[in-house]
Amino acid sequence: MAFLADALSRVKPSATIAVTQKARDLKAQGRDIISLSVGEPDFDTPDNIKKAAIEAIQRGETKYPPVSGIMPLREAIAKKFKRENGLDYKPTQTIVGTGGKHVLFNAFMASVNKGDEVIIPAPYWVSYPDMVLLCGGQPVFVETKLEDNFKLLPEALERAITPRTKWVLFNSPSNPSGAAYTRDELKALTDVLLKHPHVWVMTDDMYEHLTYGDFVFTTPAQVEPNLMDRTLTINGVSKAYAMTGWRIGYAAGPDRLMKAMDMLQGQQTSGACAIAQWAAVEALNGPQDCIPKFRKAFESRRDLVMSMLNQARGLKCPKPEGAFYVYPSIAELIGKIAPSGKVIATDEDFVSELLEAEGVAAVHGSAFGLGPNFRISYATSNEALEDACKKIQRFCASLR
Ligand code: PLP
């Protein structure tokens, strides 16, 4: 009898965590490493949010919170959806989890039966397919193209839908490509979904506040209110308020799904950390001035990285509308030989040789389901980014 669960054989460890660990190990050996693999803002959590957490501790908010979240946070979430997205959710239609990752997992766990299909546009965030597989579902990948700025086209979505499709997953702005859908682009996709009433929409809006230039963020249930009763809108405080370590994510959706997720969470983690929930109340209800500040810093870093990478020999880097990632193609470099003598046969070879030769850690595109590309997170200082991009330029120039 096998000791470990069969379900584990369906999944693999997160590639981003693996690369980050490798960079850490090399650093510990004394190597000079610039890590561009981590997906978290380098800013500190704003002081007003920290203060709210300290006050919550002092008030004694240290007991088990309700499973779906403390009511002040669920009210703040309903208000946020109304204020920023024009969505009418009752506080009882919301749920708070231990990070957006937890909420996503529980949504699948609460709804996916064996063999149910989940449409995932590629490139995708590494965890989506493995979550679906763990829940017994079948990820159905739809590849996007660099020429379309890595956006799913309505025809491709239409082709991917079958009678077994349960969910289609949107993530705009996207991790790893940074691509974000305009209202019209999203409407063209929601129009397809109107024709298929059995398909539900899961939208991961984690990077909502990180969009650049005059881009206007929209979310599926806002663009097509007729989809409201089969849409789960997921968001969180990690990226918008530099709160990755507080582990608070949330979602809102139709009553019957929210009740199921509440029941599941009640037998699993119960309510998320009470103190972090009070911090999240302040994040959503308090001053919002950190958002434009972070956005401005990220936008200038995006422009810096974009321009330097597009000057590197053999790289092609489309301009992302949001998040803090770029996803350049290395198609022209496949088959070339690295200074170590190794042939660059895949994007995984590229990032591993780059790490060896120049000490720059990035994540290979095939981990996100679309290559040959690599992902750089520009959530780090301008100096480190400039240094890293120079090293990438030098590495690309050294390939023969
Ligand atoms: N969704 C996407 C696309 C992400 O990139 C991340 C984090 O990297 C998450 C969800 C999870 O965020 P958290 O669990 O920190 O709320």
Q: Quote the CA–CA distance of 175 and 113 in Å, as a whole number.
A: 26
Ligand 1 pocket: which of 14, 98, 209, 238 to mutate (most atoms within 8 A of CB): 238
Q: Quote the CA–CA distance of 374 and 351 in Å, as a whole number.
A: 7
Residue pair 179/173 in contact (Cβ under 8 Å)? The answer is yes
Q: Quote the CA–CA distance of 83 and 222 in Å, as a whole number.
A: 12
Q: Residue 177 Cα, ligand 1 centroid: separation in angstroms?
A: 14
Give me the pLDDT at residue 79, please: 98
Torsion of CA 327, 330, 331, 332, to 10 degrees: 140
What residue ranges line ligand 1, CB within 6 angstroms?
A: 39, 99-101, 125, 171, 175, 204, 206, 236, 238, 244, 249
3-class secondary structure, 322:
strand
> What length is written for the chain?
400
Task: Identify the DSSP state of 178.
Answer: -
Nearest ligand 1 atom to the CA of 204 is 1
Q: Residue 357 Cα, ligand 1 centroid: separation in angstroms?
A: 30
Contacts of 101 (CB under 8 A, 6+ apart): 127, 249
Contacts of 303 (CB under 8 A, 6+ apart): none
Instruction: Give the DSSP per-residue string, 98-110.
Output: SSHHHHHHHHHHH
Give me the pLDDT at residue 345, please: 97
Buried b / exposed e along 177-209 (16+ C-beta atoms within 10 A): bbbbbbeebbebbbebbeebeebbbbbbbbbbb
Q: Domains of the chain: which residue ranges?
A: 6-44+290-398, 63-285
Q: Residue 343 Cα, ligand 1 centroid: separation in angstroms?
A: 34
Q: Residue 39 Cα, ligand 1 centroid: separation in angstroms?
A: 8
Q: Quote the CA–CA distance of 278 and 346 in Å, as a whole number.
A: 46
Nearest ligand 1 atom to the CA of 39 is 8
Tell me how many helices (H) and strands (E) the chain has.
13, 12
Give me the pLDDT at residue 18, please: 79
Q: Quote the CA–CA distance of 214 and 212 in Å, as a whole number.
A: 6
3-class secondary structure, 149:
coil
Q: Residue 115, Cβ neighbours under 10 Å: how many?
A: 10
Q: Quote the CA–CA distance of 382 and 377 in Å, as a whole number.
A: 12
Q: Quote the CA–CA distance of 42 and 30 in Å, as a whole number.
A: 22
Nearest ligand 1 atom to the CA of 249 is 16
What are 41's two structure tokens? 């803002």
Give the pLDDT of the chain (400 residues) as one tens digit per residue. 889 998 888 888 777 777 888 888 899 999 999 999 888 899 999 999 999 999 999 999 999 999 999 999 999 999 999 999 999 999 999 999 999 999 999 999 999 999 999 999 999 999 999 999 999 999 999 999 999 999 999 999 999 999 999 999 999 999 999 999 999 999 999 999 999 999 999 999 999 999 999 999 999 999 999 999 999 999 999 999 999 999 999 999 999 999 999 999 999 999 999 999 999 999 999 999 999 999 999 999 999 999 999 999 999 999 999 999 999 999 999 999 999 999 999 999 999 999 999 999 999 999 999 999 999 999 999 999 999 999 999 999 999 9
* CA 5 centroid distance within chain: 27
- CATH class for domain 63-285? alpha beta
Peptide bond into 320 cis (omega under 30): no
Burial class (CB in 10 A: 0-12, 13-18, 19+), 13: exposed
Q: What's phi and psi for 71, nearest 5 deg?
A: -60, -40
* CA 350 centroid distance within chain: 23
What residue owns the CA closest to ligand 1's atom 3?
A: 175
Task: Say if strands 200-204 and 165-170 run parallel, antiparallel, or are unpaired.
Answer: parallel
Q: Residue 155 Cα, ligand 1 centroid: separation in angstroms?
A: 28
Residue pair 123/370 in contact (Cβ under 8 Å)? The answer is yes
Q: Quote the CA–CA distance of 92 and 251 in Å, as a whole number.
A: 11
What's the pLDDT tens digit per position in 158-215? 999 999 999 999 999 999 999 999 999 999 999 999 999 999 999 999 999 999 999 9
What's the pLDDT tens digit per position in 104-138? 999 999 999 999 999 999 999 999 999 999 999 99
Domain at 6-44+290-398: CATH code: 3.90.1150.10
Give me the pLDDT at residue 17, please: 79
Strands in the chain per DSSP E: 34-35, 94-97, 117-122, 138-143, 165-170, 200-204, 231-236, 249-252, 325-326, 360-361, 363-364, 374-377
3-class secondary structure, 340:
coil
Q: Quote the CA–CA distance of 135 and 116 in Å, as a whole number.
A: 10
Q: Residue 145 Cα, ligand 1 centroid: separation in angstroms?
A: 23
